[in-house]
């Protein structure tokens, strides 16, 4: 069973995502701050991370965590990261899959908030399948 970590300061959303993922057969951990996510990852490596962009303490904390996972922590380099954001609804800045970049935005995929649960499950399934294939 794959272990997924949700990192989002929006607790009702994180809990809703966790419920959907648990019902789909995944083991799920939720963290509501970047610092707690870092500590949790030290204890247990997730198979996939659903990561928010903006946190109250830092509007770009999600980007920073994704970069640290990819560039500074060997054990997390291949963990798929799905970046979740509501920024596309809240500002003229528009992020999408075309912005994924190994240096600037090293994530595996993007999801807009509000999250479409069916789309989320499909993306997770594909990423986990691809990641498992690449490790064999």
Task: Show the domain range for 72.
Answer: 3-135
pLDDT tens-digit profile of 5-53? 999 999 999 999 999 999 999 999 999 999 999 999 999 999 999 999 8
Q: State the Cα–Cα distance between residues 29 and 123, nearest whole angstrom.
A: 18
CATH number at residue 125: 3.40.50.2300
Which are the contacts of 32, defined by CB distance < 8 A and separation ≥ 6? 7, 8, 9, 11, 14
Work out the angle at residue 21's Cα, subtended by the Cα atoms of residues 15 and 24, and round it to the nearest 5 degrees.
Answer: 145
- pTM above 0.95? no
Answer yes or no: is pLDDT of 102 > 60: yes
Average pLDDT on 102-119 reads 83
Q: State the Cα–Cα distance between residues 43 and 72, nearest whole angstrom.
A: 17
Count of structural domains within the chain: 1
pLDDT tens-digit profile of 43-95? 999 999 999 988 988 888 998 899 889 887 788 989 999 999 875 444 445 55
Q: State the Cα–Cα distance between residues 67 and 21, nearest whole angstrom.
A: 25
């Amino acid at each position: 069973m794959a272990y997924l970590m949700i990192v989002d300061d929006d607790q009702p959303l994180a809990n809703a995502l966790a419920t959907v993922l648990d019902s789909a057969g995944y083991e799920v951990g939720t963290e509501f701050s970047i610092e707690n996510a870092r500590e949790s990852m030290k204890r247990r490596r997730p198979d996939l991370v659903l990561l928010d962009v903006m946190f109250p303490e830092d509007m770009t904390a999600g980007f920073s965590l994704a970069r640290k996972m990819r560039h500074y922590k060997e054990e997390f380099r291949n963990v798929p990261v799905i970046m979740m954001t509501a920024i596309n609804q809240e500002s003229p800045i528009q992020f999408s899959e075309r912005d994924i970049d190994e240096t600037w935005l090293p994530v595996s995929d993007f999801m807009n908030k509000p999250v479409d649960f069916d789309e989320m499950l499909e993306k997770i399934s594909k990423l986990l399948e691809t990641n498992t294939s690449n490790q064999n």
